Chains A and B, each alone.
Chain A
């Protein structure tokens, strides 16, 4: 499979009045064409900031991308997203990389019709005329499962339900047939039943369009339904990368283990207490020289407090940033 996006050592900081927030501390990953990668982590783990950094969507004061590269295989060839000029970035945003955000009511402009909000991307990136854009938009609306698309073109966001609105947002994202869609917690603000529908829709569209998807979430339950590979983040760093089945079957990082333990399961044989990970996420204002998870880890030992564990290979296409081997019960030998 061809790599469509390769991110290396991305570091993003925010310079605020209270200090420097180390939001992203060296994130690297790859995305293959047509693949669905899930990025999992708590609030503050840096998952959203990572994606927004790639597309220049973070406010630049106070934010600053300190270092890193993001090699994107665009329509016009390879380019580094972090080095693009504003005009070049605008070409890519919406046109080759689409975004789906979390809360559909605030994501849509309340005083413009939804048809117009979809059409404007088409006009901008595909150079369509208003009429052509309108026709295409109506097709898109039915593609995302909105009934009576001709009528609904002129409707306003407040006239839709949450699930319908999210479909509109998805329509905007896929309108210009992008190569990648980044979805930042797209179902978190929706009812559980609607969540399932949206996930189904996503899968259909993904298979139909062959688009690569980065799905950001904090919910490991959702991940299983849609992802092929998973990247787990903590404290602004990647802590585990694996194929989805490997992650669930043999997690190698104590944090992942904790997340899985916190999932309620219908198949549990005995009633088991939900285990939550003790402690709270790290304060990103303080630059750390040791493993960020050490405070909350059941397996931490002295090395964990002395160095930051790098990502090391722990299996086939499986990496974890930990000095401890959970299965062996002792530190890794390297």
Chain B
């Protein structure tokens, strides 16, 4: 009889069971996909958006900037006066809406990615200092953080955007700075938790030096919540950029199409030509939904406590 020492022996028996057929493996994979369907959908959406942004010229041969006043205000292709040259119709100046939606992904992604980058780096630094230092420095920093967080966010973003003027850089900066407090708060919470769990102390007493502690212990623990947060905040930033564009505070429409300024332009024609605003709105919803799903999934997967008991 086989080795009696350890229990791993019994599981090897079942793993080597060559009777597991191809159908079983497919079933297993299918179960995995279904269990994590939120994440699968979210990731797909995200990849579609990235794909659209990167390969925009390949997807549509229309330019998002060309005005053609003769073909202005055309409805989507499946309607009577529409044509397949302009699948989503055109706006009041004859610009193709489909291509503008596709090119709009570039702005949204840039705002989302860079905004989150700035916010997370700033927030990480502030939060880590606050969390590690503790005491009065922590109280002072968190006081400032809570101040910014407890105020009506929209109000101040709008206020600042009005002051600074319309440009993509301004929008990214505004979001990056105003969102940093959220990252700071999460980072500080995690750092404090790690500090208090005594596990840093044991690492130190085992002889680890501080670069090892930071990169080997603290950062891996931070990554999970931060990646999840980054996903949600990216979704929110795309959302808010659209909002700012809607108020006319984001990139001007002549410079570059963004979903926000498309909504603003389409607003005037809501009753007679509703598609001008519908499609960018759908794009925003699609992206936002996908990223929220992705964030939910990431949160479940990256939380070590949840990993064991996932239903």
- Taking Cβ atoms with an 8 Å cutoff, the residues of A that contact B are 17, 278-283, 286, 294-297, 300, 302, 305
Contacts and interface: CB of A to CB of B under 8 A. Distances in A.
A178 to B, nearest CB: 32
Given A17-B311, A286-B14, A278 B5 contact: yes
21 contacts: A17-B311, A278-B5, A279-B6, A279-B7, A280-B6, A280-B7, A281-B7, A283-B7, A283-B10, A283-B11, A286-B10, A294-B4, A295-B4, A295-B5, A295-B6, A295-B9, A295-B10, A296-B4, A297-B4, A300-B4, A305-B1
Given A17-B35, A286-B11, 10 more contacts: A17-B31, A17-B311, A278-B5, A279-B6, A279-B7, A280-B6, A283-B7, A283-B10, A295-B5, A300-B4
Nearest to B3: A295
Contacts of A279: 5-7
A-side interface mostly: loop
A199 to B, nearest CB: 30
Contacts of B4: 294-297, 300
Nearest to A300: B4
A282 B10 contact: yes
Contacts of B10: 282-283, 286, 295
A296 B3 CA distance: 10
Nearest to B9: A295
Contacts of A17: 31, 35, 311
Nearest to B14: A286
A300 B4 CA distance: 9
Q: How large is the interface on B (under 10, 10 to 19, 20 to 34, 35 or more residues)?
A: 10 to 19
Nearest to A295: B4
Interface string B284-311: 0000000000000000000000000001
A281 B8 CA distance: 10
Contacts of B5: 278-279, 295
Contacts of A295: 4-7, 9-10
A278 B9 CA distance: 14
Interface string B1-25: 1001111011100100000000000
Nearest to A302: B1
A278 B4 CA distance: 10
A129 B175 CA distance: 60
B290 to A, nearest CB: 26
Contacts of B35: 17
Nearest to A294: B4
Contacts of A278: 5
A305 B10 CA distance: 13
Tell me which of A279, A281, A297, A300 has the highest count of chain B C-beta atoms within 10 A of its own C-beta: A279
A307 B4 CA distance: 16
B280 to A, nearest CB: 41
A305 B35 CA distance: 38
Tell me which of B4, B5, B9, B35 has the highest count of chain A C-beta atoms within 10 A of its own C-beta: B4
Nearest to A290: B1
Nearest to B6: A279
Contacts of A297: 4
Q: What are the 7 tightest A-B residue pairs by CB atom distance, in nearest-first order?
A: A280-B7, A295-B4, A279-B6, A305-B1, A286-B10, A283-B7, A283-B10
Contacts of B11: 283, 286
A152 B1 CA distance: 63
Contact of B7 (A282, A302, A305): A282
Nearest to A279: B6
B17 to A, nearest CB: 11
B311 to A, nearest CB: 7
A281 B311 CA distance: 24
A280 B6 CA distance: 7
A283 B11 CA distance: 8
A305 B31 CA distance: 35
A87 to B, nearest CB: 29
A282 B4 CA distance: 12
A78 to B, nearest CB: 39
